[in-house]
Amino acid sequence: MYSIALISFCFIFLINYTFQQGQGSFEVREHSVTRPYASVFSTSNSNWDLTGNTIVTDKFIRLTPDVQSKAGGLWNRIPVYYPDWEMHVQFKVFGEAKTLFGDGFVIWYVRDPKIAGPVYGSKDFFQGLAIVMDTYANRNDDYSRTFPYISAIVNNGSLHYNHDDDGFNLTVASCESHFRGRDTDTLVAIRYQDNRLTVSTDTEGQNKWTECFSIADINLPTHYYFGFSAATGELSDNHDIISVHTYQLESSEERRKEDRTGILPSAPTANMGSDNNITSKPKGWSVLKIFAIVALLIITILVGVGILFYMKQRRYHSSRLY
């Protein structure tokens, strides 16, 4: 038991320091949550609230079980007073289904926490940032994206999240990420510094971050709240949060003194809903693609052999005329 705990500690230590925070950065305990969870939720002074169908065990915080029509959330009680931050989330999404499963979960930084609604268990027309960890494609005619899928949405409170479109019309940046059903630990890092939003993942068990996307000119205020929510409908999955490590990053003196409480969330230079926002990983060759290439190669060889045979026969008949 001691060896397992030691290995887990070493893993978290390595993955946290692989993604450098900088000399002036430090972890904010009030915005972090780690095992043992009992010490986090057992007192009235807890910094986190559980909503909906969320349950806590000694191994995970389960936002939804692998059951239809469930919703749950994990919300921080303390607003974020610093302008630049980074969050590392260890999570696990899995279930019994092999082909049809859903729907995913969201990592929030919003003005109004703990309000139930239709967007992965949280409110629509939210004000703030949503990092959507989507596992099911609602659009059957969209072949430009492969799910699971990570997208960033910045909302000023006036925009509607369209589930039928997977929120594509509001997406400012996105990438494909095969984070569901992994045997290895799965982590995502969200970094917001100097109005640049960067999301990276570690889903291969390599203890190494891979950049998902990075986008500049993202305006977010301070004094919003971190949170997590998930929901299931006709499809379902287990959506587990294992740990959350949040860091206050180093900021310039000007940025520290700036009153950012009144900033309206925006992404003025982002082309929301554009295919240019998609960062796709290189795809492996499918069986159908390999078959098509082999078939084309065989046809080319046969045509070549046929041409050679025809030319040979033509030379043979021409030589007999003389």
Domain spans in the chain, listed from the N-terminal domain onward = 2-279, 287-322
pLDDT along the chain (322 residues), means of 10: 44 45 80 86 83 94 97 97 97 92 95 96 97 88 77 96 90 94 92 98 90 96 98 95 97 92 92 56 42 72 76 56 44
Nearest residue to 80 via CA among 125, 115, 40, 111: 111
Cα 113 to Cα 246: distance, rounded to the nearest angstrom: 17
> Per DSSP, which regions of 13-65 are E strands?
26-27, 48-52, 55-56, 61-64
Classify each residue of 35-59 as buried b or exposed e, where b means 16 or more C-beta atoms within 10 Å of its C-beta. Answer: bebeebbeeeeebbebbbbbebeee
Evaluate whether 63 touches 241 at the Cβ level (below 8 Å).
yes
What pLDDT does residue 263 have?
96
Confidence at residue 141, expressed as pLDDT on a 0 to 100 scale: 67
Residues 6+ apart with CB under 8 A from 12: 34, 90, 243, 245
pLDDT at 280: 45
C-alpha 191: how far from its chain's center?
A: 13
CB atoms closer than 10 angstroms to residue 140: 6
Which helix (H) or strand (E) element contains residue 291? Answer: helix 287-321
pLDDT at 274: 58
What CATH topology corresponds to 2-279? Jelly Rolls (2.60.120)
Cα–Cα distance, 319 to 45 (Å, whole number): 102
